[in-house]
Amino acid sequence: MMDWVVQGAMLADGSGPMDVGIAAGRIAAIAATLPVEAPVIPAGGCLLTPGLVETHVHLDKTCILDRCTAAEGSVAEAVRLTSAAKRSFTPEDVYARGRRTLEHAIGWGTTRMRTHVEVDPASACAASRACSFWRATTPGPWTSSFACSRRRAC
């Protein structure tokens, strides 16, 4: 039995419209027509794709444009402004900004994410602390990778 059925979707190989049955979070059946005994998501001939994968994001540095007024547009300026902004990061602040980014990404179809966060004593290790909150409160599989600055652990 299917948990739900995506009905009338075009597939990446150009076939379709097809019905795609989902059971226990996995594709269980693909056919031109599936018996409908579960909730239906009408695709209306739209393309059905696998979940998106974000392979490199810095969740600890998302949503800080309001704190960084760029004038030059250079990488050196971005590093300088970000470094200054990090001094005011708290675990709660980093968590809230990162969570907002996660919610947007999930809402647009991202199902896997690898984040890099700085283990930085200058920010009282706010990013590494927030990362453990993201892992505990965000559904779905994702991994984190810690980029260590100053070779010091928090």
Residue 42: strand pairing partners: 7
For residue 118, what pLDDT is reported? 74
Question: Two tokens at 25?
Answer: 């979070």
pTM above threshold 0.85: no
pLDDT digits (tens, 9 = 90+) for 30-85: 999 998 889 999 999 999 988 888 888 888 889 998 988 889 999 999 989 988 99
pLDDT digits (tens, 9 = 90+) for 98-150: 889 988 988 888 888 888 877 776 666 777 777 777 777 766 555 444 443 33
Question: Band of the pLDDT at 151, cuts 50, 70, 90?
Answer: very low
Mean pLDDT in residue range 11-36: 92
| The three-state (H, E, C) secondary structure of 96-145, written as one string | HHHHHHHHHHHHCCEEEEEEEEEECHHHCCHHHHHHHHHHHHCCCCCEEE
The residues, any chain, with a CB within 8 Å of residue 60's CB and separated by 6 or more, are 89, 94, 97, 98, 115, 117, 118, 126, 127, 130, 131
Question: Band of the pLDDT at 152, cuts 50, 70, 90?
Answer: very low
